[in-house]
């Protein structure tokens, strides 16, 4: 079965998953009360030496304790260096789960892992890629945000850790973190709670996007579902459309 549009799902499929989706929504509503910001991190671009050349990057973030204004493009005091691939309305805020830090400390025991080391603006507790759907809407402090996409690492993650294998490790871990678009501006600070406001009906998770991008590229059904998620950025739609147009086999 091919899903051409979320509004035209097969009746039997909807019935089959109705209970599951209902339980997921109940679970999310109950547990979201305990979700909060562990660290709010910002930083301005700087020049660093990488493989014998100077590179400008905004990946170096530092925790900040005071309230910070979140705008449609970023937090005050935070900027991206290469706007051709970083930043923009669909990547205004990068969130990384604090729970993933324990995994990385075991993977790389000789590396320090202060909050913000992955270049995230928000280090949070209780949010995970497999239960964050593209298009989900949240309230964080004074702001309202929408989940848009996973983070795909570039070479600057390797620069941050001074490890040539870090990009490969990061993608293979499937611990991508996720981006928010800011729909309502306001102040945010460490300790603010995070409230789920609405679930996207397509039920395409951040994990689903990473999976069909990097691991299961032949899952045409999921790719079509992903393209039906209204909040998915156009760049992702174009990429998936090209995947669908490739000859099979």
Burial grade of 163 (CB within 10 A; 0-12, 13-18, 19 or more): middle
Q: What is the pTM of this model?
A: 0.86
d(CA 73, CA 63): 19
d(CA 2, CA 221): 5
pLDDT at 87: 73
CB 134 within 8 A of CB 240: no
pLDDT at 249: 58
pLDDT beneath 70: ranges in the chain: 1-33, 81, 83-86, 249
SS3 139: strand
CB 132 within 8 A of CB 96: no
Closest Cα partner for 143 from 227, 68, 33, 205? 68
With residue 24 as reference, give the H or E element that holds it. helix 11-31
SS3 247: coil
Cα 102 to Cα 98, 162, 243, distances in angstroms? 8, 19, 35
The size of the chain, in residues, is: 249
pLDDT at 33: 54
State the average pLDDT for the chain. Answer: 88
Q: DSSP assignment, residue 153?
A: P
């Amino acid at each position: 079965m091919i899903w051409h549009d979320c509004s035209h799902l097969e009746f039997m499929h909807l019935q089959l998953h109705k209970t599951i989706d209902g339980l997921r929504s109940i679970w999310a509503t109950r547990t979201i009360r305990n979700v909060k910001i562990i660290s709010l991190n910002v930083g301005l671009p700087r020049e660093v030496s990488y493989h014998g050349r100077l590179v400008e990057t905004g990946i170096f973030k530092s925790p900040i304790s005071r309230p910070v204004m979140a705008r449609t493009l970023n937090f005050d005091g935070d900027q991206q260096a290469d706007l051709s691939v970083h930043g923009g309305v669909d990547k205004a805020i990068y969130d990384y789960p604090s729970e993933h830090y324990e995994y990385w400390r075991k993977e790389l025991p000789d590396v320090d892992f202060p909050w913000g080391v992955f270049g995230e603006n928000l280090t949070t507790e209780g949010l995970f890629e497999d239960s964050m759907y593209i298009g989900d809407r949240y309230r964080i402090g004074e702001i309202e945000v929408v989940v848009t996409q996973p983070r795909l690492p570039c070479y600057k993650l390797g620069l941050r850790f001074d490890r040539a294998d870090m990009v490969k490790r990061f993608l293979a871990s499937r611990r991508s973190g996720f981006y928010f678009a800011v729909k309502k501006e306001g102040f945010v600070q460490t300790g603010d709670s995070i409230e789920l406001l609405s679930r996207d009906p397509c039920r395409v998770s951040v994990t689903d996007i990473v999976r069909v991008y990097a691991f299961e590229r032949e899952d045409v059904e999921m790719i079509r579902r992903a393209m039906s998620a209204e909040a998915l950025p156009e760049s992702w739609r174009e990429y998936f459309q090209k995947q669908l147009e490739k000859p099979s086999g």
